[in-house]
Chain A
Amino acid sequence: MTLLEVNDLRIHYETSAGPVQAVDGVSFSIDEGENLGIVGESGCGKTTLADAILGILEENGYVAGGEIRFKGEDLTELTGAERRRIMWDEISMIPQSAMNALDPVYTVREQILESIFTHRKMSKKEANERVDELFELVGLDPDRADDYPHQFSGGMRQRAMIAMALSLDPALILADEPTTALDVIMQDQILKRISALQDEINSSMMIITHDVSVVAETCDRVVVMYAGKVAEEGPASTIFDKPYHPYSVGLKGAFPNIRKPNQDLVSIPGHPPELVDPPTGCRFADRCPLATDVCYSEDPPEVTDHADDLRTFCHHVDQIDGGFRDRADERATWEETKAAREVSQ
């Protein structure tokens, strides 16, 4: 059953230079118990998307169109009070950096209790037992719950945040770069812990990251975003083994691959375009080795018949299988784009 359905969502930020179209016509859905990864460079609209679902956009940001349906109900049409009832109870979050995600002047216990008491009628004793239980669940000593956040290490704070996110057994957890602030070993531990817990309470999760390997380990489906739009969407296995969007192919090559340890890492030269006045046609064209004139003039079509359950927005899907996948492992391939030539000049 579909839990969250995002349809043609548009989010703008009002700035002095005009509205920034941070998210522009994005659609995807998450089924119950499913994990969705949102991948892309910073500034591609991932975090904005999460903020919009959570209802915590910056003051100058607003939903300019589309809908966010959660259990059939459009969140963008709810009043503040109706929305607050759902927040955390049904949709919780694990924020980008747990370092600053906890209020420094209250103990961790007080903060978890606050989220419980905001949504549930419960005796103090029951709630405290719940906190202890959550602490054990995430692998923390319940005696430490009465400490202040600054007495915790980075990894402990992240675990505490996870405990808080799980406190009300939410149906959906949004995790924004849940592990970037941690070292590799800790990352692995935390990811495993999240997956295990999630199976236990059968919640869905949306993981936002620029790190493809995180998604590979934890997600069922993946949305690749570029410059506020969906570039490609499909099962995680397909996107990792056989992506069809040149950007997905490039991203894959930008991270170390266990199966090809000696391979050079590629990087995609250039930056995503400014979203105040986005270019016409495909937004990736400037940085794409396959770009032709049509990419600069027409929006890329949605291609669905090239692989099972995969949606790719590209004019040149047919060229991917024809040797591009192999060429993409070489740096030289990416030096031929317009953006790369501008950089080298």
Chain B
Amino acid sequence: MGKLEFAIRRVFQLVLTLWAVGTMLFVIFRLMPGDPTSYILSPGMDAEARRQIVEDFGLNAPMHEQYISFLTNAVFLDFGRSFHTSEPVQDVIFRLLPNTLILMLAAFTMAYTAGVILGVFVGASRGTKFEKGGIVLALVQRSMPTFWVGILVLWVFGAYLGVIPMAGMRSPGASPDSFLAMVFSLDFFWHLIAPAACLAFYAMGYPLLLMRNSMLEILGEEFIDVCEAKGLKRRTVLFKHAARNAFLPIVTAAAVSLGFAVGGSVLIETVFGWPGLGREMVRSVIRRDFPVAQGAFIMLAGFVITMNFIADLAYGYLDPRVTYD
């Protein structure tokens, strides 16, 4: 099978997964036991408002019509309006999604740089105290709940030392001209560093362990002996040859862990009051702002699914041996 054919088949799988996730959401929100409107409407609403919402949302239409219009709208990222603010869900998403992405990107860059490099050294020092220490460190990182680490960081660095802000994405007085101007401001960086570091602290254990296992396998290969016999420096053998080969499984794994990180970002955003999509999803679930919750969820799921897709393609690009059969 050629690369193109593989890519096409993978696209079909992507669409299938997106469709399945969308359908599942539709079912969860609408086919729950009891009156579907009771999940959506707040009890305090008067009859007129209630009728209006039911009408707006098409909740009185036959189920299959609702389903079709739900899917068509979802394709155009149209999830209706927030019950609370009447703001179009699309606007909410596009306002908050960049915040989440920046946080994730910062955290993942840190986590994967540190995790992979440390993993190379841990994998290369088999049977030493350093190796054991590295493994335990990685497990400890993954065992500490991110939100708890966040709380500790806020306590020590925020309240006690006073070097980081206690919440939010920018200082109350700051009013940057544009989103980009804000992102590149020192104030933003000051707010970003703690949540990103907490997320990275948690996320780096995974690449560390994977890289270590992968390195152990690669270092046993014959071509590593040849590289050493060629008189290459230890660093060259470790990074240019061993790590480059050991890195392949990490690419695929990164996608899976990104899925976890999207979940983790929900917690980190809540702890640090970071105005992202994850926190918004939780808040809208709690106040039963169903369209926002649904839209945010689909975006988060879409993100995970897309990352899986990219990872699969990237794997083929990085490893010339992959034949796609």
Contact = CB atoms under 8 A, between A and B. Distances in A.
User: Do they bind each other?
Assistant: yes
Contact of A104 (B228, B229, B233, B245): B245
Interface string B256-284: 00000000000000000000000000000
Given A59-B127, A102-B223, A114 B230 contact: yes
Contacts of A51: 225
The 10 lowest CB-CB distance pairs between A and B, nearest first, are A87-B231, A84-B231, A100-B222, A88-B230, A148-B320, A56-B228, A115-B230, A54-B229, A88-B231, A103-B223
22 contacts: A51-B225, A54-B228, A54-B229, A55-B228, A56-B225, A59-B126, A84-B233, A86-B231, A92-B229, A95-B222, A95-B225, A101-B226, A102-B226, A103-B245, A104-B245, A104-B320, A105-B318, A105-B319, A114-B232, A119-B231, A150-B320, A150-B321
A105 B318 CA distance: 8
A85 interface: yes
B92 interface: no
B245 A56 contact: no
Interface in A37-59: 51, 54-56, 59
A191 B290 CA distance: 75
Contacts of B321: 104, 148, 150
A101 B223 contact: yes
Interface residues of B, number: 22
B241 to A, nearest CB: 5
A190 interface: no
Contacts of B318: 105
Interface in B239-255: 241, 244-245
Contact of B231 (A89, A95, A164): A89
B106 to A, nearest CB: 29
Contacts of B48: none
A173 to B, nearest CB: 11
Contacts of A161: 226
Interface of A: 51, 54-56, 59-60, 80, 83-89, 92-93, 95-97, 100-105, 114-115, 118-119, 148, 150, 161, 164
Contact of A88 (B225, B229, B244): B229
A305 to B, nearest CB: 39
Contacts of B319: 104-105
B221 interface: yes
Contact of A56 (B221, B229, B241): B229
B227 interface: yes
A237 B227 CA distance: 35
Given A54-B225, A84-B233, A87-B228, 9 more contacts: A54-B229, A56-B229, A83-B231, A95-B226, A97-B222, A100-B221, A103-B223, A148-B321, A161-B226
Nearest to B125: A59
A150 B319 CA distance: 11
B28 to A, nearest CB: 44
Nearest to A119: B231
Contacts of A85: 231
Main secondary structure of the interface of B (DSSP, over half): helix
Contacts of B126: 59
Contacts of A96: 222
Contacts of B221: 100
A23 to B, nearest CB: 17
A115 B318 CA distance: 23
Contacts of A86: 231
A102 B229 CA distance: 12
A56 B234 CA distance: 11
Interface centre among A51, A55, A103, A150 (most CB of B within 10 A): A103
Nearest to A151: B320
A38 B230 CA distance: 22
Contact of A105 (B227, B232, B233, B244): B244
Contacts of B225: 51, 54, 56, 95, 101
Contacts of A92: 229-230
Contacts of A97: 222
A102 B221 CA distance: 10
A119 B222 CA distance: 21
Interface centre among B221, B226, B320 (most CB of A within 10 A): B226
Nearest to B221: A100
A110 to B, nearest CB: 10
A215 to B, nearest CB: 22
Contacts of B231: 83-89, 115, 118-119
A93 B225 CA distance: 10
A87 B226 CA distance: 10
A103 B230 contact: no
Nearest to A85: B231
B33 to A, nearest CB: 55
A92 B126 CA distance: 27
A312 to B, nearest CB: 32
Interface string B138-164: 000000000000000000000000000
B156 to A, nearest CB: 40
B95 to A, nearest CB: 42
A33 to B, nearest CB: 22
Interface centre among B221, B230, B320 (most CB of A within 10 A): B230
Contacts of B241: 103
Interface string B202-245: 00000000000000000001110111111111100000010011
Interface centre among A86, A88, A100, A105 (most CB of B within 10 A): A105
A56 B232 CA distance: 12
A93 B318 CA distance: 28
A27 to B, nearest CB: 23
B24 to A, nearest CB: 39
A96 B232 CA distance: 20
